[in-house]
């Protein structure tokens, strides 16, 4: 007897992810799947990016957390449309969760959807959501060896942002070693160094993102 | 038709975990399951702890990583017996993996087994290994909201160590908010604040650990 359960689940997730992407395209929305360790600064990067985007590119956010709505409340306080998904202990978002958030989003009032995945450098990489761009956020205090230890996540990245760069000396962080690791896994991924706390590098990153979003939007029309 | 696959896997893991614990008890070894986010400082804490333990309490280490043997090489360089487990993409260690490491450990030459789990604040909490103590390591740069966002992990902790405490001011880290979150989930868990970089607090933590190990060892004889 053959019971192909895992395959079915993944196939079904991929199928719903494709449907999610079609819905987003239809509404002229480009979506970014933000993945990172707990505390790397996904929420801070979303807030800093939102402040630096051109006015014509309005963001909305989906917050994925095991529990709590701490980040979503922060988004709402900053005037960003937001939907909270509590995964109930699940270690990653999946495509059906994103689909269930769509009816709560103000489509027509935003062009960029930033999806903050559960803080986890392993599992989220294995579940497509229907996003157009996979962003991996790393941070200096985590150490420069992360690409070597979590290769699956960095191999899944379309772009990498390194946060908290003002602490490189404190943590004896070797950027060359870090970037060599990333490039070994994903040679074509653009790389940005930022500090959400000081604001360094955020404008460059936001400018690239805005340009990338415009490129995807043009392809879809 | 009833196909209770998940239940079988968990039951089997729990059973092998119990067998692992019996093997450890037989050899007079107390095991600690170290769980944390990527880059919280598990490896640094193991090295700092090993240096601060009484000479009669000899450590050995099992390193769990998706890939690479960076941490295991560091242990070996420091003269600590070590076995590397590569999970091949799996987001946590499990009891069968620990069992498979046992034949490679020099039983009789150590009393304390420090098991460094995969960096992940979600999945490792759900898989018993056969350890006597669950240690959750958090770190200041991750932010003071982690217990609220990852309650399952902190609820599983027997003891919590907060690392990188010298950076509290830089990150506007509110220790009261952090500890209230931990105590809400695990009121009886002892809490230690350390800096593996400066050495602050490590002696107190290592003294507590040595005393706890002696207590477990006495119960088992």
pLDDT digits (tens, 9 = 90+) for A130-180: 999 999 999 999 999 999 999 999 999 999 999 999 999 999 999 999 999
Probe site for chain B from A69, A148, A150, A155 (most B CB atoms < 10 A): A150
Helix (H) or strand (E) holding A30: strand A30-36
Instruction: Report the residue from A39, A118, A143 with minimal CB separation from B143.
Output: A39
pLDDT at A7: 56
* pLDDT class of B6 with cuts at 50, 70, 90: low
pLDDT tens per residue, range A89-139: 899 999 999 999 999 999 999 999 999 999 999 999 999 999 999 999 999
* A5 contact residues in B (CB cutoff 8 A): 3, 5
Rounded to the nearest angstrom, the minimum Cα separation between A144 and chain B is 9
pTM of the model: 0.92
Probe site for chain A from B43, B141, B170 (most A CB atoms < 10 A): B141
Instruction: Report the residue from B118, B146, B167 with minimal CB separation from A38.
Output: B146
CA distance B90 to B65: 9
The superfamily in CATH containing domain B5-220 is P-loop containing nucleotide triphosphate hydrolases (3.40.50.300)
Residue B167, token pair as written in the block: 């950076």
Contact B146 A118 (CB under 8 A): no
Q: Closest Cα to residue B216, out of B175, B159, B139?
A: B159
pLDDT tens per residue, range B23-61: 999 999 999 999 999 999 999 999 999 999 999 999 999
Q: Name residues whose C-beta falls within 8 Å of residue B138's C-beta, 6 or more positions apart in sequence.
A: B36, B37, B40, B146, B147, B160, B161, B162, B163, B178
pLDDT at A48: 98
Q: Name residues whose C-beta falls within 8 Å of residue B123's C-beta, 6 or more positions apart in sequence.
A: A91, A120, A122, A123, B91, B92
Q: Are A92 and A120 in contact (CB under 8 A)?
A: yes
Residue B21 sits at φ, ψ, to 5 deg, of -60, -40
For A:48-67, CB contacts with B below 8 A are 65-67
Contact A150 B38 (CB under 8 A): yes
Virtual torsion, Cα A68, A74, B172, A66, nearest 10 deg = 20
What is the mean predicted confidence (pLDDT) over A76-90?
95
pLDDT at A189: 96
* pLDDT class of A60 with cuts at 50, 70, 90: very high
Q: Closest Cα to residue B118, out of B110, B108, B127?
A: B127
Fold that domain A5-219 belongs to in CATH: Rossmann fold (3.40.50)
* pLDDT class of B120 with cuts at 50, 70, 90: very high
* pLDDT class of B216 with cuts at 50, 70, 90: confident
The pLDDT mean for chain B works out to: 94
* B152 contact residues in A (CB cutoff 8 A): 66, 89
β-pair type (B82-86, B133-139): unpaired
* B2 contact residues in A (CB cutoff 8 A): none
pLDDT at A221: 67
Which ranges of B5-85 would DSSP assign to H, the alpha helix? Answer: 5-26, 42-52, 70-77
- The residue written with tokens 């037989």 in the block is B26
Contact A70 B145 (CB under 8 A): yes
Residue % of chain B over a pLDDT of 70: 95
pLDDT at position A6 over 60 = no
pLDDT at B220: 74
Contact A141 B39 (CB under 8 A): yes
Contact B38 A65 (CB under 8 A): no
pLDDT at B117: 98
Instruction: Report the residue from B38, B67, B152 with minimal CB separation from A66.
Output: B152
ipTM: 0.90
Helix (H) or strand (E) holding A112: strand A112-116
CA distance A39 to A119: 7
pLDDT at position A75 over 70 = yes
10 Å Cβ neighbour count for B137? Answer: 27
CA distance B162 to B171: 14
* B39 CB within 8 Å of a chain A CB: yes
For B:178-207, CB contacts with A below 8 A are none
> Between helices A202-219 and A42-52, what is the axis angle to 10°?
80
CA distance A121 to A103: 29
Rounded to the nearest angstrom, the minimum Cα separation between A18 and chain B is 25
């Amino acid at each position: 007897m053959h019971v192909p359960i895992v395959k079915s689940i993944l196939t079904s997730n991929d199928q719903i992810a494709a449907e999610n992407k079609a819905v987003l395209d239809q509404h002229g929305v480009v979506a970014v799947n933000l993945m990172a360790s707990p505390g790397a600064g996904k929420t801070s990067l979303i807030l800093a990016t939102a402040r630096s985007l051109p006015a014509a590119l309005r963001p909305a956010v989906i917050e994925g957390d095991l529990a709590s709505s701490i980040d979503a409340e922060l988004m709402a306080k900053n005037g960003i449309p937001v939907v909270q998904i509590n995964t109930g202990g699940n270690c990653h978002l999946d495509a059906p969760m994103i689909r269930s958030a769509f009816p709560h989003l103000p489509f027509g009032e935003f062009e960029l959807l930033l999806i903050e995945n559960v803080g986890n450098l392993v599992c989220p990489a294995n579940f497509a959501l229907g996003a157009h761009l996979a962003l991996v956020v790393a941070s200096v205090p985590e150490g420069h060896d992360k690409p070597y230890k979590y290769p699956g996540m960095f191999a899944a990245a379309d772009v990498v942002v390194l946060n908290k760069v003002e602490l490189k000396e404190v943590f004896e962080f070797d950027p060359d070693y870090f970037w060599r690791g990333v490039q070994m896994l994903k040679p074509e991924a653009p790389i940005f160094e930022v500090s959400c706390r000081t604001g360094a590098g955020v404008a460059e990153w936001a400018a690239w993102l805005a340009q990338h979003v415009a490129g995807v939007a043009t392809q879809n029309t």
